[in-house]
A and B are shown apart, each in its own frame.
Chain A
């Protein structure tokens, strides 16, 4: 079972990763019993599987994914939505209303207009069909407030963390509501602009350092430090006012 790289080593397309007994995992392909990388990324060997964690990629829709999209067009029976994927997604009016859609009565632009941001779920997608969305579930629908930031979709798992450890820590430390779209868009919704700033800062840090270990701890530390400094400044301000 020859293996040609160490774990977490940087590989480029066409690099020979392993031979024979391994299975080809994500971002690899097998030809004549040899496994090659197909993207730039960090190679990993699980028991019998070789895979590459891509460092840069684009979003490929998957049924069941929650995504954040932007309304591109209002059509007769629904909306065309850009979900940053190779194809535009469709949201039909019947997947947005909780009753049958009546074209004479229902005014679609008043629900979502061009430029609106929507959290939606992918219900259908394959090689022959464009992705289909729905918003008839809890937590889905139009985004009315907060900030949206974009990162490479391959780094989304890092923002979520193992069993959601990173994301629950972020929510707790910043006090923000954070909604993650698998397509690389993240909604940060805080009570104050300061909370949002912290949330955005933390996610940017995760994006930059996605390929390193012990990240959750470092982000926690950074957030606590930031918050601590702010409070010191606040209390300082109070004291100075008193002395005045």
Chain B
């Protein structure tokens, strides 16, 4: 699997190795309600990332001692399928996955009105089927849509996107290859109505000025993701609506 590193990740025309411009997102597609057994579900494809999210609840918390007296317990499991990466990943939850589960939970919790449903639990499962960098961000975006599909009341959809530095240039939405060959990665989750950041991490080195710019870029990326999330939710429900108007039109012709 040893690939030869290309000379440059960004060429002289500011085009990245996958053909994107510096401030472009990867092509992103979200589908809502893909799982029949979960209360809410969604699927995202962002570049080569393929991630499923399922939501159950609010329901009685099991085991009972995990229930909180004043709000619902949001429980989150981020997991990568063994076949999601080049070399088989052990299906057991790794240290990294446990940490991401916690971070994702904390990114989503401020958006959910957990205080409406005390002593219950909301279970959230994020399954990465294919990984290509930025899975935590895509995971947060898709999980938020799945929560909305489950009918759980929310302040806002949480959208997430990363920015970073590759070969001295600031870029948006790093792919796995850019992440590994780059200088810095800065994932960020964001709620647009309250203009609040719910997740901000960074690895690598950025100067103070670059950091500020990267945050601004990531927020812009989040806003684009937010539009895709809303369209996905509308698409699911307007299908029923359109079928209806067609039927009415036919009835009118008769």
Mask for B35-54, Cβ within 8 A of A = 1, else 0?
A: 00001100000000000000
The answer, yes or no, to whether A112 is at the interface (CB within 8 Å) is no
* 8 Å CB interface, B221-239 against A: 229-230, 233-234, 237-238
CA gap between A79 and B240 in the complex, in Å: 40
A54 interface hit (Cβ, 8 Å):
yes
Known contacts A88-B60, A209-B244; is-contact A55 B237 (Cβ 8 Å): yes
Output the least CB separation between A127 and chain B (Å).
5
B153 and A38 contacting across the interface, CB-CB below 8 Å: yes
Name the distance in Å between A53's Cβ and chain B's nearest Cβ: 12
Residue pairs across A and B with CB atoms within 8 Å: the count is: 86
Residues of B within 8 A of A (CB): 39-40, 57-60, 72, 111, 113, 117-120, 148-151, 153-157, 191-194, 229-230, 233-234, 237-238, 240-241, 244, 248
B154 touches A86 (CB 8 A): no
Tell yes or no: A115 within 8 A of B by CB: no
Select from chain B the residue with minimum beta-carbon distance to A127: B118
Q: Is the CB of B153 within 8 A of A39?
A: yes
Find B151's partner among A31, A57, A88, A211 (CB 8 Å cutoff): A57
Contact status of A14 and B233, CB under 8 A, knowing A86-B59, A87-B119: no
Question: Whole-angstrom distance from the CB of A43 to the nearest CB of chain B?
Answer: 13
Please tell me if A216 contacts chain B, counting CB pairs below 8 Å.
no
> In the assembly, what is the distance between CA of A209 and CA of B238, in Å?
12
B155 touches A29 (CB 8 A): yes
Give Cα A40 to B156, complex, Å: 11
Task: Check if B120 sits within 8 Å of A38, measured CB to CB.
Answer: no
A56 to B42, CA, bound (A): 15
Binding site for B on A (CB under 8 A): 10, 12-16, 27, 29, 31, 34, 36, 38-40, 54-58, 60, 86-88, 127-128, 152, 154, 208-209, 211-212
Q: Which residues of A contact B72 (CB under 8 A)?
A: 86
Contact B234 A14 (CB under 8 A): no
Docked complex Cα distance between A208 and B244 (Å) = 9
Residues of B near A212 (CB, < 8 A) are 241, 244, 248
The listed residue (A36, A54, A88) touching B156 by CB distance below 8 A is A36
Q: Compute how far the CA of A88 lies from the CA of B157 in the bound complex, rounded to whole angstroms.
A: 29
Could you tell me the distance between the alpha carbons of A189 and B191 in the complex, rounded to whole angstroms? 48
Q: Which residues of A contact B156 (CB under 8 A)?
A: 13-14, 36
Whole-angstrom distance between the Cβ of A83 and the nearest chain B Cβ: 12
Partner of A12, one of B39, B153, B157, B241: B157
Q: Who on chain B is nearest to A129 by CB? A: B119
Assess A38 versus B154: contact at CB under 8 Å? Given A14-B192, A31-B194, A56-B149: yes
User: Is B234 a contact of A12 with CB atoms below 8 Å?
Assistant: yes
Check if A36 sits within 8 Å of B151, measured CB to CB: no
> Cα distance A208–B58 when bound, in Å?
24
Q: How far is the CA of A10 from the CA of B150 in the complex (A)?
A: 16
Q: Which residues of A contact B157 (CB under 8 A)?
A: 12-14
Enumerate chain A residues within 8 angstroms of B155, measured Cβ to Cβ. 13-14, 29, 31, 36, 38
Which residues does chain B contribute within 8 Å of A128, judged by CB atoms? 118
In the complex, what residues of A have CB within 8 A of residue B153's CB? 13, 27, 29, 38-39
How many Å lie between the Cα of A167 and that of B234 in the bound state?
30
| Shortest Cβ distance from A16 into B: residue | B193
